[in-house]
């Protein structure tokens, strides 16, 4: 818009204009007698008229009123929450990994537009064996191995979604998602708004996140809070078998991009799942344990640790309420604010680094909205602000822990102390 074009000589620009692809193609067509001068003139007149009409329309149009500029960030018409399944007495024991696999398998059976793409998702069965066997069941057209180009295949997924397909893009680890941040933030999350609601990207992106597998500083992160910062997308963190199984299908019903973060420490978690388990709603947080003395707010891989800590507190006569956020964007303000307004104390447990984390956002909102209910300041338990170490004892010491863990010399895990006041 403001380029004075001083970095090339005008003679050089003139020489290259003669080599422009449209000029060369038009010259070739004329020399080959495939187009005639009057046809070229008509094309130019028609195109000039079309451009002039568009410019005239834009210049005569009213400016968008400020009152409506927040429209089309996400779809204005939201799908109805899925109907809960009838309770089933029959349960099936499985791992979190198998629950995710069943969700992918189910989605592919329900909708022939669904396909999975990513690095090693096909023949190898994915890094964490989530898609193992699915290529044999569904074929290479629907379980697609990709080159090692996260930005490339995520961009392809965005295009496929915009064109009417329902792709699942798997990013091997959350660290690799940083190679796709431009595609997610500047394309998938913005197309609806930039097109005035004319285009949408109903894309699902899954990725493994979290710490605990001794993958060291470059493959051990919790970046969910980074993506929860971006308008235009939905961010999910399933921490139970039911959510791992049901959130994916609900995500396919969502008209906007959905990111699903699967904590690496949950893949081997085993539990019983109802045989008829289906879709779950993806709009609210869940109270996993009711309590009256303090609210513990967490998500993802920290849920089990937080429930362990709540059980230990119960032995001391402190009844902790445990909130599983489940949905990190948009946050469920009613549940988040309602719990500490009752218990009058809150601690937020977040495996991300403290500075600029999702826990900081939640603490700020709590301070803004329910401050006058409180008997104590908001507490936060986060990871140590260091690149995640490789040695097991240092890796464990860098993370929030519900109960004491073995530690090396002079190394102790991060912990929080909660005491029961006389008034409670």
Q: Of the CATH numbers 3.20.20.80, 3.10.450.50, 3.40.50.920, 2.60.120.200, which one belongs to the domain with range 286-397?
A: 3.40.50.920
pLDDT at 407: 44
Per-residue pLDDT for 24 more than 90?
yes
The active-site residue out of 219, 229, 373, 393 is 219
d(CA 205, CA 260): 6
The total of other beta-carbon atoms located within 10 Å of residue 370's CB is 19
d(CA 302, CA 379): 16
The sign of the torsion formed by the CA atoms of 197, 201, 204, 205 equals negative
Q: 353 — phi, psi (to 5°)?
A: -65, 150
Q: C-alpha angle with apex 120: 117 to 124, nearest 5 degrees?
A: 125
Name, in order, each residue with C-beta under 8 angstroms of 249's C-beta and a sequence gap of 6 or more: 82, 103, 106, 107, 110, 278, 279
Per-residue pLDDT for 317 more than 90?
yes
Which of 140-144, 184-188, 400-404 has the lowest average pLDDT?
400-404
| pLDDT mean over 53-74 | 93
Condensed to tens digits (0 to 9), the pLDDT of residues 355-372 reads: 999 999 999 999 999 999
341: left (phi over 0), alpha (psi -120 to 50) or beta: alpha
pLDDT at 410: 42
Run of H or E including 95: strand 91-95
Q: Are the C-beta atoms of 132 and 126 separated by less than 8 Å?
A: yes
Q: Of 407, 389, 413, whose CA–CA distance to 216 is shortest?
A: 389
Q: Which CATH topology does 92-274 take?
A: Rossmann fold (3.40.50)
d(CA 417, CA 421): 13
Percent of the chain with pLDDT over 90: 77
Quickly state the pLDDT bin for 219 (edges 50, 70, 90).
Answer: confident
Condensed to tens digits (0 to 9), the pLDDT of residues 84-135 reads: 777 777 889 999 999 999 999 999 999 999 999 999 999 999 989 999 999 9
Condensed to tens digits (0 to 9), the pLDDT of residues 256-293 reads: 999 999 999 999 999 999 888 888 999 999 999 999 99
Q: What burial class does residue 393 get, using C-beta atoms within 10 Å of its C-beta: 0-12 exposed, 13-18 middle, 19+ buried? A: middle
Q: Of 316, 283, 310, whose CA–CA distance to 297 is shortest?
A: 310
Q: What is the largest CA-CA distance in the chain?
A: 96
| pLDDT mean over 68-97 | 86
Condensed to tens digits (0 to 9), the pLDDT of residues 130-181 reads: 999 999 999 999 999 999 999 999 999 999 999 999 999 999 999 999 999 9
Which of 4-18, 190-204, 313-327 has the lowest average pLDDT?
4-18
Percent of the chain with pLDDT over 70: 94
SS3 418: coil
pLDDT at 418: 47
pLDDT, mean over the chain: 90
d(CA 131, CA 126): 6
Which of 324-333, 342-351, 411-420 has the lowest average pLDDT?
411-420
Name, in order, each residue with C-beta under 8 angstroms of 160's C-beta and a sequence gap of 6 or more: 167, 203
Quickly state the pLDDT bin for 4 (edges 50, 70, 90).
Answer: confident
Tell me, yes or no, if 140 is annotated catalytic: no
Quickly state the pLDDT bin for 388 (edges 50, 70, 90).
Answer: confident
The residues spanned by each domain of the chain are 10-59, 92-274, 286-397
Domain 92-274 and domain 286-397 have a common topology: yes
Tell me, yes or no, if 393 is annotated catalytic: no
The active-site residue out of 98, 119, 150, 224 is 150
């Amino acid at each position: 818009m403001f380029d004075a074009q001083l970095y090339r000589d005008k003679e050089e620009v003139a020489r290259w204009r003669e080599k422009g692809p449209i000029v060369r193609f038009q010259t070739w067509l004329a020399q080959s007698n495939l187009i005639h001068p009057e046809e070229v003139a008509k094309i130019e007149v028609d195109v000039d008229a079309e451009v002039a009409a568009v410019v005239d329309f834009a210049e005569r149009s009213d400016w968008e009123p400020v009152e409506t500029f927040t429209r089309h960030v996400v779809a204005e018409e939201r799908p109805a929450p899925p109907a809960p399944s009838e309770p089933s007495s029959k349960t099936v024991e499985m791992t979190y990994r198998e629950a995710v696999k069943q969700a992918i398998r189910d989605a592919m059976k329900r909708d022939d537009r669904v396909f999975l793409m990513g690095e090693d998702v096909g023949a190898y069965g994915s890094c964490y064996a989530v898609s193992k066997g699915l290529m044999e069941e569904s074929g290479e057209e629907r379980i697609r191995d990709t080159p090692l180009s996260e930005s490339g295949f995520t961009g392809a997924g965005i295009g496929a979604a915009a064109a009417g397909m329902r792709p699942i893009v798997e990013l091997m680890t959350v660290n690799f998602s940083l190679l796709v941040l431009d595609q997610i933030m500047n394309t998938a999350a913005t197309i609806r708004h930039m097109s005035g609601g004319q285009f949408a990207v109903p894309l699902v992106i899954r990725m493994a996140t979290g710490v605990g597998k001794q993958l060291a500083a470059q493959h051990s992160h919790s970046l969910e809070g980074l993506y929860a910062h971006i308008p235009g997308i939905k961010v999910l963190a399933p921490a139970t078998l039911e959510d791992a199984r049901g959130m994916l299908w609900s995500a396919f019903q969502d008209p906007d991009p959905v990111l699903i973060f699967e904590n690496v420490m949950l893949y081997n978690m085993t539990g019983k799942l109802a045989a008829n388990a289906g879709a779950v709603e993806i709009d609210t947080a869940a109270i996993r344990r009711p309590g009256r003395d303090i609210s513990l707010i967490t998500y993802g891989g920290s849920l089990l640790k937080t429930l362990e800590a709540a059980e230990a507190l119960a032995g001391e006569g402190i009844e902790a309420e445990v909130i599983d956020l489940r949905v990190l964007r948009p946050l469920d303000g009613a549940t988040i604010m309602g719990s500490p307004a009752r218990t009058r104390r809150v601690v937020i447990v977040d495996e991300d680094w403290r500075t600029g984390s999702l826990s900081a956002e939640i603490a700020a909102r709590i301070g803004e909205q329910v401050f006058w209910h409180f008997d104590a300041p908001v507490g936060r338990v986060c990871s140590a602000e260091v690149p995640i170490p490789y040695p097991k004892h240092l890796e464990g010491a860098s993370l929030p822990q519900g109960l004491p863990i073995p530690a090396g010399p002079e190394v102790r895990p991060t912990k929080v102390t909660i005491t029961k006041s006389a008034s409670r």
